[in-house]
Amino acid sequence: AALSPNGRVHYMVKHRAVRKYRELARYLGLGQKRLQNPVCALLPLTAVKRRRDLDNVLAALKPAFDGVTDAGWWSDDSAITEHHVLPEIHHPLWGENGILLMACERDELPTMQAAVARLRDGAAAGAPNEAVGALLAASSSSSPRSRTM
């Protein structure tokens, strides 16, 4: 709630939440080679079927983008050549909602799309956590130019 633009929290509570989220995103994004022509995709993973307001989701993700920029994924988030917001994947086993932030070079976009399709298939088959684990493992081992957080 503190990261939501609609959240009604004290400004210092919001400041601490933003700083913590940005630092976490930076930490998780460290050790990656800088992307030259980055393409970014956002994939909401939901445990509860409830419509999300897209502009609020994107605003709440600003600290994550700033964190991975700090980690060196790209020179500046304005360098991202394309943004893709993918339809959410719902599964009650996730327990809570989350968003996968994925990035790759423009020429690797078909590979990222295939990985998302495998994630959808895994969730539909009743193994959503294993599908997310496989996606994370594939992004860290396949190409040094693609990453998922």
% of the chain residues with pLDDT over 90 = 42
Is the pLDDT confidence value at 143 over 70?
A: no
**Among the listed residues 108, 106, 101, 54, the one whose alpha carbon sits nearest the alpha carbon of residue 82:** 106
φ/ψ of residue 41, rounded to 5 = -130, 140
Higher pLDDT, 84 or 138: 84
Q: 88 is written with which tokens?
A: 């959410």
Q: How far apart are CA 143 and CA 149, in angstroms?
A: 15
Is the pLDDT confidence value at 3 over 90?
A: no
- Mean predicted lDDT score pLDDT of the chain: 86
Q: How far apart are CA 104 and CA 80, in angstroms?
A: 10
Q: Confidence class of residue 57 from pLDDT cuts 50, 70 and 90? A: confident
Q: 74 is written with which tokens?
A: 């790209």
Is the Cβ–Cβ distance between 100 and 43 less than 8 Å?
yes
